[in-house]
C-alpha cells in the first residue's frame, strides 16, 4: 500500500464523474487514503459552488462533533481508540445523522445547564448550612450565659 510521501511516485489525473455516482466514487477514493484532491476552481467561493448545502451540513456536523468531543474530554470519559476511519455514510443517512447530532447537542446543553444550576444550588445550600451551624453555636452560647446574667440582675442596685 502506498502513502502520500514526497519521495513516492505520483501521477496527476483528472476525473469526470456523473452527478449521481460522484458521491460514491469520491467517498471510496477518500476511504482508500491514496488520493489527494485539488481544487480546479480556486477563484470560486464556497457559496458559489454546486454543493453548498451539503458542505454547510458537513461543517455543522463537524462543529457539533467537536463540541461533543470537548464535553466528553471535559468529563474525563474515555473513548475507544480507533485506527480505522469510518465509512462515509450514504447521502440518505446524512439527514438522520444530522438530526441525531442536533438532538445530542441540545440534550447535552440542557444537561450542562442543569449541572451548573445544581452546583450553584449545592454551594448556596452549603453556605446556608454553615450559617445555620454558626447561628446555632451562637444561640447555644447565649442561652448558656443568659442564666448567669439573670442572677446578676437580681443583685443589682435600683
Q: Is residue 82 part of a domain?
A: yes
Does residue 38 form part of some domain? yes
Q: What is the mean pLDDT of the chain?
A: 83
The residues, ordered by sequence, that sit 6+ positions from 118 with a Cβ below 8 Å of its Cβ are none
Q: What is the pLDDT of residues 15-63, one digit of tens each?
A: 888 888 888 888 888 888 778 778 788 888 877 777 778 878 889 999 9
Give me the sign of the Cα torsion angle 142, 145, 148, 153: negative
Rounded Cα–Cα distance for residues 150 and 10 (Å): 103
Rounded distance between C-alpha atoms, residue 57 and residue 63, angstroms: 10
- Does residue 104 sit within a domain? yes
Q: Kindly state whether residue 2 falls inside one of the protein's structural domains.
A: no
Domain that holds residue 24: 19-152
Q: What is the pLDDT of residues 87-100, one digit of tens each?
A: 888 888 989 999 99
Q: Is residue 5 part of a domain?
A: no
Residue 4 lies in a domain: no
Residue 95 CA to residue 109 CA, distance in Å, equals 21
Q: Against a cut of 0.95, is the pTM above it?
A: no
Tally of structural domains, the chain: 1
Amino acid at each position: 500500500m502506498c502513502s502520500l510521501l514526497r519521495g513516492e511516485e505520483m501521477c496527476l489525473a483528472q476525473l469526470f464523474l456523473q452527478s449521481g455516482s460522484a458521491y460514491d466514487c469520491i467517498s471510496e477514493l477518500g476511504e482508500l487514503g491514496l488520493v489527494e484532491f485539488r481544487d480546479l476552481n480556486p477563484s470560486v467561493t464556497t457559496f458559489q459552488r454546486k454543493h453548498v448545502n451539503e458542505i454547510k451540513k458537513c461543517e455543522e456536523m463537524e462543529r457539533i462533533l467537536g463540541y461533543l468531543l470537548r464535553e466528553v474530554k471535559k468529563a474525563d470519559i474515555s473513548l475507544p481508540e480507533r485506527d480505522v476511519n469510518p465509512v462515509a455514510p450514504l447521502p440518505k443517512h446524512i439527514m438522520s445523522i444530522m438530526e441525531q447530532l442536533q438532538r445530542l447537542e441540545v440534550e447535552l446543553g440542557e444537561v450542562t445547564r442543569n449541572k451548573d444550576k445544581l452546583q450553584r444550588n449545592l454551594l448556596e445550600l452549603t453556605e446556608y448550612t454553615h450559617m445555620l451551624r454558626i447561628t446555632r453555636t451562637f444561640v447555644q452560647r447565649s442561652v448558656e450565659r443568659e442564666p448567669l446574667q439573670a442572677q446578676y440582675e437580681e443583685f443589682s442596685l435600683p
